Amino acid sequence: MEKLTVGLLLLSVLSGSMSQTDMKGKAFIFPEESSTAYVSLIPKVSKSLQNFTLCLKAFTDLSRPYSIFSYNTRTKDNEILLFVETIGEYMFYVGNSGVIFKAPTNHFDPVHICVSWESDSGMAEFWLNGKPLGRKGLKKGYTVGGDAKIILGQEQDSYGGSFDAKQSFVGEMWDVSLWDHVVPLEKVSDNCNSSNLINWQALIHEENGYVVTKPKLWT
């Protein structure tokens, strides 16, 4: 099954509908509010998840709600979702259930977000800029579906669509990493190249609408 998926993936990469890129040192810029600009990320392996870790860096000056990372399956809205409701309130969803992590943030600094989730205990652990914001529990015993659309820049209300400009991300995003296991977050720092599902240095993705890739502004 995995061989087949990898084969199909290779075919799509070769046929040019997707590209695999070393994004080291680069960022995606979402330059304006829209319901059409997004980046679709394709994991190296499509598999269901009992544990995962997601890390990314972002800069925005939005004060309205916006989506950071949207992972939907055909059957589940908000299967994994990182969403900012108001400044400093990070909503983290698994299987369409959410918890909030509150952070005192400086509005105009870029953020380094890392969150992990473990099915056995339901524990979600959230780190912001290298500091833990504590642990909360959700969806204990749940398994996240594998056949997903993973989207940066927009919040999905269906599988790969139903975007709302008023929830779109405007700003810059880089170093997006997804692991199929819980990574000790105190050790992540800048070593994101171990990520096995989404790897910034071998990023399989598809850009849609007004998205610009440029060298990142922040380290």
For ligand NAG, the binding residues (CB under 6 A) are 50-51, 118, 120, 181, 193, 199, 201-202
Phi, psi values for residue 81, rounded to 5°: -145, 135
181 or 214: whose CB is closer to ligand NAG? 181
Minimum Å distance from CB 38 to ligand NAG? Answer: 24
34 or 50: whose CB is closer to ligand NAG? 50
51 or 129: whose CB is closer to ligand NAG? 51
Minimum Å distance from CB 175 to ligand NAG? Answer: 12
Minimum Å distance from CB 193 to ligand NAG? Answer: 4
Minimum Å distance from CB 47 to ligand NAG? Answer: 9
31 or 137: whose CB is closer to ligand NAG? 137
5 or 50: whose CB is closer to ligand NAG? 50
Q: What's the CA gap between 114 and 103, in Å, rounded?
A: 13
Minimum Å distance from CB 219 to ligand NAG? Answer: 16
